[in-house]
Structure 1
Amino acid sequence: MNFGILVLLLALILFGLLAFKQISALILAPLVTIFVIVCSGLPILESLKTAFMPAASDYVTSYFLIFFVGALFGAVYQHTGAAESISKTLAGLCKGKFVAPIIMTITGILTFGGVSGFVVFFVIYPIALNMFKEANVTRRLIPAAISAGCWTWSMYGPGSPSIQNVIAMNSLGTPATAAFIPSVIAAIGSYVLIFVWLEMRTRSFTKKGIVFKDTSLKFQLSAEEMEIDNDKNLPNFWISIIPIAAILICFNGIHLAVETSVFIGVALATILMWNRVKGINGWIAVFNEGAANSGVSILNTAIVVGFGGVVKNTQGFADLVELLKTFNMPALIFVMVTVAICAGACGSASGGMGVAFNALTDTYLSLGAHLEDVHRIAAIAAGTLDSLPHQGAQITLLGICKLTHKEAYFDIFITQIVIPFISCFLFIIVTAVL
């Protein structure tokens, strides 16, 4: 095997193993990046300054405001009881059943509605936490339920406003609803499989006696987070969903920027539920907590993006792209494999799609693939190997949920790598039949 490609493979394995050992991403990403730099024969300090840090800082520049307002929104919803109000109502409707699949569904609807996945993390987590608490279901499934809603069927369904769909549209000149019928079937198949898996795992954990209160978890919840008070005075359900509805209307209906839309949601929630927090000092504490959460979350993600910035500049990555061009397989399977590998190497679905389209679009066409089919299979495949343990979004979400890779990653692996690959093959089969 080409030495440069071997280095990248070893780096991904190292990243995954150390992530499972619960080493902070702030230490892990620079450490593995230096390993890649040294093995690739690049100057260490110069590479860190000219590739690693620019990639990380560009990410912070592009997304800090989204993280910031999203974290503020999440903090407001947690401390005013709005999240608990929504969760109690939903838990009552489903009578404590299908909690994880319902969280996955709600998350997907918000994401398909145009709310950024990172914003959804902060908005949904307090709702999910309370629903899982009410139903006495293990919180080990919260990360898989939330991220599956963000990064699977809602990301690659036809018409999705996701960045993956937009990249394919811009690169290939195809519509948002490209390959509509097989896309719908693949998205529905993905949703059903994830729904079944999450419910099956819920019942399996409960049968083993693993429920919400779990002293074996590394990070324990606070007394406030563990408390169940059925007599607690909570905001009205309809009042609680008004700010969320406002975000969706502002972003999708009025077409305001997502940062502006979420800020409006924060302001509206603060006004509507002002009396739910004790005075100005209480609100300052809420906003301080949200601001602190946003800083930690975006740094955990940006630092991993920095790793991808170095990887894309190595000869090993260039050799990997050239190697992929030599694969001899059916057109859509070739697209699936190449996009998935690029996404895994970059640790990013959007980054992997960008690299694959830039390097391989002519190859896809030479194999006889239709552009609309390439669009959709690439969007699905990009959401597979990008979800390996080094992905910044997963590290961020696990941090928000106060869980480790060891405790929660297996269900992420099934719902966001195994099932999307199944959806890829379902799409290919339907496309062949039609």
Structure 2
Amino acid sequence: MVGLFGIILSLVLLMYLAYRGITVLILAPLLAVMAVLFAGDLPLLATYTQVFMTAAGRFVTTYFPLFLLGALFGKLMDDSGSARAIAHWIVQKLGAERSILAVVLACGILTYGGVSLFVVAFAVYPIAVALFREAEIPKRLIPGAIALGSFTFTMTALPGTPAIQNLIPMPYFGTDAFAAPGLGIMAAAIMLVGGTAWLGWRHHRAHAAGEGYGNHADDPATASGVSPRPRSVGAMAIDQEEVGAPGILVAVLPIVLVIALNYVFTNHLIPTWDTGYLAEPKYGATTVNKVQGTWAIIIALVISSVAVAALNWRVLRDRIASSINDGAMGSLLPIFNTASEVGYGAVIASLAAFAILRDAVLNLSPDNPLISLAVAVNVLAGVTGSASGGMSIALETLGATYAQLGQAAGINPELLHRVTAISSGGFDALPHNGAVITLLAICKLTHRQSYVDILVVAVAIPVTSLIAVITLGTMLGSF
């Protein structure tokens, strides 16, 4: 019981201290050591160097190219003006009367194309301010709209998304980024329609109560000394032309390339290659099925990054080196944060008391491992405040077990993949989540003002979609 108490205490402290802003690079190893001290049955230094660091290093080895190339692509899209061009085009086409949907779709298209959600938030926020002010929609709904477009259906549900939450399950289940496409599209539709309907209802309720945009002295226009009079959608389009941003076709082409090339290489090209050498020990004694998903997204991101640079060379040529360097450096903190959480999970899994928690989770639904898998990933994502971190801990400790349980139960690995990915995007968006805190800071709003909407669109509705996927997947299988 002492060992079990140590595990629970370390998890609680991880959640609380991460919320207080302490980096998991420090928290993860320290709290792993604390759990070992409570257990009293493992050597501290050996656990750190041989268990924690081995698991963290294995994660970096597997996923570093994806973090690196994803961050690089996002930075090039940002610096070239492509991200802002896409956002402006969408809001121009939909108009101020559909401001909420415009913001959601702008965020969704950008994140589905591989642009970092933080880049998206910074790029879309000023546009959302102008739109919401013009349409007299309360500013407090902006974080919910950005969260819906960035944290939900494009992160975990849509097939082919290059979000890391959709890529981490691939090596564990031998799948690719397009796993269970039908179920993924259904889940995405539930999130998009449900979230947009919620935000629309909140707007109509505020309008009926006489609440408009509100007076916010720290908005981008006001803070810069410009009159806070709303700009029209047409004026924003003119502004975009004046700064030399790319046209919509040039801006969106790299995003189309990411998705299209990923699909073509995964399903048509890589399977035709002679990859018998992968069976050799020096190449990991593996098969092409286990690596083709990773290979495909690497190729897609490399070609698409080159395309962004080539199509926008006039804008990027004087700062291409800084864009590449900043993009590369921007990948380091996210991957090492997640790797530290993976190392933490490996240490917890090595403790004798973990067997109690493992058996409790696995016995939640002995006849349907999809349910216990969903619970495990959701709980750990909630505890860590990280979709990728919680998922990684769950798969590091129980991934092989669920792969075996799925095979025994006749469950398609693609269904396991999609359930894992969607599960990571549920409880991860609790108040201590770093992306939530950052989004509210960008929007200059507080949890009290805006978190209820984030809770509904990024937690409650994604969990509802997860339940629908598990129900249909259990009845009909993967599709």
Distance 1:120 1:73, change over 3 A: same
Partner residue, 2:56: 56
Partner residue, 2:158: 154
State the shift of 1:415 in Å. 3.9
Q: Take 1:202 and 1:5, find their aligned partners in 2: how far apart are those partners? A: 46
Contact persistence 1:152–1:380 (CA under 8 A):
yes
Runs of at least 5 residues in structure 1 that lack an aligned partner in the other structure: 216-220
Distance 1:33 1:398, change over 3 A: farther
1:324 has 2:323 as partner: no
Q: Which moved more, 1:394-403 or 1:130-139?
A: 394-403
1:244 has 2:279 as partner: no
Q: Give 2:411's match in structure 1, choosing from 360, 371, 374.
A: 371
State the shift of 1:211 in Å. 6.5
Partner residue, 1:47: 47
State the shift of 1:28 in Å. 2.7
Distance 1:66 1:236, change over 3 A: same
Partner residue, 1:135: 131
State the shift of 1:88 in Å. 0.8
Q: Which has the larger radius of gyration?
A: 2
Partner residue, 2:423: 382
| DSSP 3-state at the match of 1:371 | coil
Partner residue, 2:376: 341
Distance 1:22 1:212, change over 3 A: farther
Contact persistence 1:344–1:352 (CA under 8 A):
no
Partner residue, 1:276: 315
Distance 1:19 1:339, change over 3 A: same
Partner residue, 1:27: 26
CA RMSD of aligned residues (A): 4.5
State the shift of 1:324 in Å. 3.4
Q: Take 2:437 and 2:351, find their aligned partners in 1: how far apart are those partners? A: 29
TM-score by length of 2: 0.67
Q: Take 1:155 and 1:275, find their aligned partners in 2: how far apart are those partners? A: 34
What is the letter of the counterpart of residue 322 of structure 1? D
1:11 has 2:10 as partner: yes
Contact persistence 2:159–2:184 (CA under 8 A):
no
State the shift of 1:432 in Å. 8.8
Q: Which moved more, 1:350-359 or 1:44-53?
A: 350-359
Q: Take 2:430 and 2:36, find their aligned partners in 1: how far apart are those partners? A: 20
Q: Give 1:253's match in structure 2, choosing from 237, 241, 264.
A: 264
Distance 1:6 1:128, change over 3 A: farther
Contact persistence 2:426–2:462 (CA under 8 A):
no
Partner residue, 2:86: 86
Q: Take 2:72 and 2:172, find their aligned partners in 1: how far apart are those partners? A: 32
Partner residue, 1:218: none
Q: Take 1:284 and 1:386, find their aligned partners in 2: how far apart are those partners? A: 38
What is the letter of the counterpart of residue 45 of structure 2? L
TM-score by length of 1: 0.73
State the shift of 1:73 in Å. 2.0
Contact persistence 1:348–1:386 (CA under 8 A):
no
Q: Take 1:62 and 1:433, find their aligned partners in 2: how far apart are those partners? A: 34
Partner residue, 2:195: 194
Aligned length: 403
Q: Give 1:303's match in structure 2, choosing from 330, 340, 347.
A: 340
Distance 1:364 1:153, change over 3 A: closer
| DSSP 3-state at the match of 1:348 | helix
State the shift of 1:322 in Å. 2.0
Distance 1:196 1:288, change over 3 A: same
Contact persistence 1:15–1:389 (CA under 8 A):
no
Q: After the TM superposition, which residues 282-301 of structure 1 pair with which residues of structure 2 at under 5 Å, given as runs?
A: 282-301=319-338
Contact persistence 1:385–1:417 (CA under 8 A):
yes
Q: Take 2:302 and 2:81, find their aligned partners in 1: how far apart are those partners? A: 19
State the shift of 1:84 in Å. 1.4
Distance 1:133 1:416, change over 3 A: closer
State the shift of 1:187 in Å. 4.9
Partner residue, 1:106: 109
Percent of matched pairs sharing the same residue: 21
State the shift of 1:154 in Å. 2.2
Q: Which moved more, 1:127-136 or 1:50-59?
A: 127-136
